[in-house]
Amino acid sequence: MNEPKEIEILLVEDNQDDLDMTLRALRKANLANHIHVARDGVEALEFIFCEGPHANRKIENGPKVVLLDLKLPKIDGMEVLKRIKSDPRTKIIPVVMMTSSKEQRDVIESYHLGVNSYIVKPVNFEGFATAVQELGMYWLLFNQPPKTGG
């Protein structure tokens, strides 16, 4: 998990079912080549800030997009978002918040913290797959971020 290859998508998801479905949808859209999966907020932050098991990574080689679940063990998605967006080295990384519901306060707080997209995971199967594929495509292909360090 700590090979220094270029990671395009950081998927932060604790729910195995959602994780499997998301990976499957990304695979089907040929977006699954460089995915790193973190299962909680701590793992996600360690990866992004190159700490702990990822100490040999370079922070400039951050992911092109972070798909972040809101409800996570240990450190929740909102806190992860806050840390990414408040650090000048990482705040350029697009973050897509994925959540089960459209609770207004969550949506508002996410946008306050600088989230780039906010999507509600649909209950129905087709809707879920389509949503994951579309937003992955958008952030990876159409929304090229400027080179970090600029």
130 binds other proteins (CB under 8 A): no
Query: Is the CB of 32 or the CB of 92 nearer to other proteins?
Result: 32
The residue within the footprint of other proteins, chosen from 6, 86, 125, 141 (CB under 8 A), is 125
In this structure, are residues 28 and 129 in contact, taking their beta carbons and an 8 Å threshold? yes
Instruction: State the burial class of residue 57 (Cβ atoms within 10 Å of its Cβ: 0-12, 13-18, 19+).
Output: buried
Query: Is the CB of 3 or the CB of 126 nearer to other proteins?
Result: 126
30 binds other proteins (CB under 8 A): no
123 binds other proteins (CB under 8 A): yes
List the interface residues with other proteins, window 58-117 (CB under 8 A).
70-71, 99-101, 103
Query: Is the CB of 129 or the CB of 135 nearer to other proteins?
Result: 129
The residue within the footprint of other proteins, chosen from 1, 56, 124, 146 (CB under 8 A), is 124
Task: Specify the 3-state DSSP secondary structure of 20.
Answer: helix
Q: What is the DSSP letter of 37?
A: E
Which helix (H) or strand (E) segment holds residue 9: the answer is strand 9-12
Count, residues near other proteins per rule CB under 8 A = 19
Residue 13's alpha-carbon distances to 8, 29, 41, in angstroms, are 16, 19, 9
| Contact residues: other proteins, CB under 8 A | 15, 17-18, 21, 24, 70-71, 99-101, 103, 121-126, 128-129
